[in-house]
Amino acid sequence: MPSFTPLEIEALRLSLRVGVWSVAVSLPFGLAIAFLLARGRFPGKILLDGLVHLPLVLPPVVVGFALLVLFGRHGALGAPLHDWLGITLAFTWKGAALASAVMGFPLMVRAMRLSLELVDRRLEQAARTLGAGRLRVFATVTLPLMAPGILSGIILAFARSISEFGATITFVSNIPGETSTLPLALFALLQVPGGEAPAWHLAILSVALAMAALIVSELLARRLARRIAGAA
């Protein structure tokens, strides 16, 4: 079994930290956007759908550059964040989490939207007929029924976050101990003589993490689906 150096362990810890925070921050927005796209009827819906999925088709470097322009120290959003709240995103792990969240957001929204579209609206109408309000129906009927999609969206976004490279290195650079996640640390190792062996360690670790996330997602989704079917 390969032994990992402190630098590799730090890259793993940072990747997990970035992945967890990116998912936690983007989850409420993902739910809201998925609901709008699945149930909403409003002008500009196609445009919103396109904007949400744009990171899937844009080069990640373009996304990272856009984040740098917007959230850099002198950016349109970065300047007030720094001046008023003392928050700096560029070249920090928080910026890495933001870049990962943006890149994983389309996968999260798509999974939750598809799950919401499969919810039988007659069940929601029945709950409303029995006197439940909109918020209670959403919390007690809609959310449990779309739980497999929410879970899939979370795991897919997490897996995408820990594998993000282009947008991250453009927005926050590759700073050891601060922004050097697994992909960035692997890239740095490949640039130095003798770095192939530890690079293999990180590559294997990255594959194992991604596979574990996908397997856990599938197992939990099946368990939730069986529970929902049994309750029905």
> How sure is the predictor about 31, in pLDDT bands with cuts at 50, 70 and 90?
very high
Instruction: Indicate whether 224 pLDDT > 80.
Output: no
- What is d(CA 208, CA 101) in angstroms, rounded to the nearest whole number? 21
Q: What is the CA radius of gyration of the chain?
A: 20
Give the total residue count for the chain: 232
Residue-level pLDDT at 7: 80
Instruction: Indicate whether 229 pLDDT > 50.
Output: yes
**CA-wise closest residue to 95 among 184, 176, 22:** 22
CA atoms in the 13 A half-sphere facing the CB of 148: 18
Share of the chain above pLDDT 70, in %: 96
What's the rounded mean pLDDT across residues 204-222? Answer: 82
Q: How far is CA 66 from CA 37, 88, 185, in A?
A: 24, 16, 23
**Does the global pTM surpass 0.85?**
yes
State pLDDT tens for residues 33-91: 999 999 888 898 999 999 999 999 999 999 999 999 999 988 999 999 998 988 999 99
CATH of 6-231, one of 1.25.10.10, 1.10.3720.10, 2.160.10.10, 3.40.640.10: 1.10.3720.10
What's the rounded mean pLDDT across residues 116-138? Answer: 87
CA 115, 166, 205, 10 dihedral sign is negative
What's the rounded mean pLDDT across residues 13-39? Answer: 94
State pLDDT tens for residues 57-68: 999 999 999 999
Residue-level pLDDT at 1: 46
